[in-house]
Amino acid sequence: MLLWPHLVREAHTETIEQGDRTMKLDTASMSVVGATIVLALSTASASAQKGPKSQKRIPISKEAAGEVAPRVDTVTVYRTDTLTVTVTKTVFQTDTVVRTMLRVDSVMLTPPIPPVRLPAGFYFGLAGGSTAPDGSIMTPNSIGYIGQAHIGWQNAKQFLGLRMSGTYSGLGEDTQFSRGDNAQLWTFSTDAKFNLPLGHTFGRTPRLALYGIGGWTYTWFRNLPHRVDTPDNAPSLFVLGDDSWTGRNGWDAGGGLSLLFGRSEVFVESRVLGFSLSSSPSARQIPIVFGFNWY
pLDDT at 34: 60
Report the DSSP pairing between strands 283-294 and 122-135.
Answer: antiparallel
pLDDT at 177: 73
CA pseudo-torsion sign 17, 21, 24, 30: negative
Average pLDDT along the chain, 295 residues, taken 10 residues at a time: 45 48 49 58 53 53 51 57 54 58 62 63 94 93 96 86 97 79 94 89 77 97 91 83 92 95 92 92 96 94
Exposure string (b/e) for 236-248, b if CB count within 10 Å is 16 or more?
eebeebeeeeeee
Report the DSSP pairing between strands 226-228 and 237-239.
Answer: antiparallel
CATH 2.40.160.20 corresponds to the domain 122-294:
yes
Task: Name every residue whose Cβ is closer than 8 Å to that of residue 8 and which is 6 or more positions away in sequence.
Answer: none
pLDDT at 129: 98
Angle among Cα 170, 176, 177 to the nearest 5 degrees reads 45
pTM: 0.58
Domain residue ranges in the chain? 9-50, 122-294
